[in-house]
Chain A
Amino acid sequence: MSAKKNRDDRPAKAQRKPGKVKNATKIARTMLGRVIMGRHADGMRRVAITGMGTVNALGRDVPSTLEAMREGRCGIGPLDFRDVDRLAVRIGGQVRDWDPEVYFNRQQIVLYDKFTQFTLLAAREAVEQSGLVFEGELGLRSGVVLGTAAGGMNTWDENYRTVYEEGKNRVHPFVVPKLMNNAATSHVSLEYGLLGPSFTVATACASSNHAMGMAFNMVRSGAATVMLAGGSEAMLCFGGVKAWEGLRVMSKDACRPFSATRNGMVQGEGAGVFVFEDWEHAAARGADILAEVVGFSMSADAQDIVMPSAIGAQRTITGAMLDAHMRPEEFGYINAHGTGTAANDKTECAAVAHAFGHHADRLMISSTKSMHGHLIGGTGAVELLACIMALRDGVIAPTIGYEEPDPECALDVVPNEAREAKVGAVLSNAFAFGGLNAVLALRKA
Chain B
Amino acid sequence: MTEVRDRIIQIIAEQAMLDPSELKLDMSPQDIGIDSLGLVESIFAIEEEFDISVPFNANEPEKSDFDVSSLGAIIGAVEKLVAEKV
Main secondary structure of the interface of B (DSSP, over half): loop
Main secondary structure of the interface of A (DSSP, over half): loop
**Do residues B37 and A264 form an inter-chain contact, with CB atoms below 8 A?**
no
**B60 contacts A by Cβ under 8 Å:** yes
**A427 contacts B by Cβ under 8 Å:** no
Q: Which of B48-66 contact A (CB under 8 A)?
A: 53, 56-60, 63
**B18 contacts A by Cβ under 8 Å:** no
**Do residues A262 and B44 form an inter-chain contact, with CB atoms below 8 A?**
no
Q: Which of B21-41 contact A (CB under 8 A)?
A: 36-37, 40
Within 8 Å by CB of B57, from A263, A304, A343, lies: A263
Most buried by B among A252, A263, A305, A307: A263
**Do residues A306 and B37 form an inter-chain contact, with CB atoms below 8 A?**
yes
Q: Which residues of A contact B57 (CB under 8 A)?
A: 248-249, 251-252, 263-264
Q: How far is the CA of A248 from the CA of B59 in the complex (A)?
A: 8
- Min CB distance A305 to B, Å, is 8
**Do residues A246 and B44 form an inter-chain contact, with CB atoms below 8 A?**
yes
**A65 contacts B by Cβ under 8 Å:** no
**A341 contacts B by Cβ under 8 Å:** yes
Interface residues on B, range: 10 to 19
**Do residues B59 and A251 form an inter-chain contact, with CB atoms below 8 A?**
yes
Within 8 Å by CB of B59, from A304, A305, A307, A341, lies: A341
Interface string of A231-259 (1 = CB under 8 A from B): 00000000000000011110110000000
**Do residues B44 and A342 form an inter-chain contact, with CB atoms below 8 A?**
no
Q: How far is the CA of A252 from the CA of B64 in the complex (A)?
A: 13
**Do residues A264 and B40 form an inter-chain contact, with CB atoms below 8 A?**
no
Q: Which residues of B contact A251 (CB under 8 A)?
A: 57, 59
Interface residues on A, range: 10 to 19
Q: How far is the CA of A415 from the CA of B56 in the complex (A)?
A: 28
Q: Which residues of B contact A252 (CB under 8 A)?
A: 57
Within 8 Å by CB of B60, from A246, A263, A306, lies: A263
B58's nearest neighbour on chain A, judged by CB, is: A248
- Min CB distance A408 to B, Å, is 13
- Min CB distance A85 to B, Å, is 15
**Do residues A342 and B60 form an inter-chain contact, with CB atoms below 8 A?**
yes
**Do residues B59 and A264 form an inter-chain contact, with CB atoms below 8 A?**
yes
**Do residues A249 and B44 form an inter-chain contact, with CB atoms below 8 A?**
no
Q: Which residues of A contact B58 (CB under 8 A)?
A: 247-249, 264, 342
Interface string of B48-86 (1 = CB under 8 A from A): 000001001111100100000000000000000000000
Q: Which residues of B contact A248 (CB under 8 A)?
A: 40, 43, 56-58
Q: Which residues of B contact A305 (CB under 8 A)?
A: 37
Q: How far is the CA of A396 from the CA of B63 in the complex (A)?
A: 33
**Do residues A342 and B37 form an inter-chain contact, with CB atoms below 8 A?**
no
- Min CB distance A248 to B, Å, is 5
Q: Which residues of B contact A263 (CB under 8 A)?
A: 57, 59-60, 63
Most buried by A among B57, B59, B60: B59
Q: Which residues of A contact B60 (CB under 8 A)?
A: 263, 342
Q: Which residues of B contact A307 (CB under 8 A)?
A: 36-37
Most buried by A among B43, B44, B60: B60
- Min CB distance B10 to A, Å, is 22
New A-B pairs, 9, CB < 8 Å, besides A88-B53, A248-B56, A341-B59:
A248-B43, A248-B57, A248-B58, A249-B59, A263-B57, A304-B37, A305-B37, A306-B37, A342-B59
**24 pairs, CB–CB < 8 Å, chain A vs chain B:** A88-B53, A246-B44, A247-B40, A248-B40, A248-B43, A248-B56, A248-B58, A249-B59, A251-B59, A252-B57, A262-B59, A263-B57, A263-B59, A263-B60, A263-B63, A264-B57, A264-B58, A264-B59, A304-B37, A307-B36, A307-B37, A341-B59, A342-B60, A343-B36
The 10 closest A-B pairs by CB, nearest first: A342-B59, A248-B58, A264-B59, A263-B59, A263-B60, A248-B40, A249-B58, A341-B59, A248-B57, A263-B57
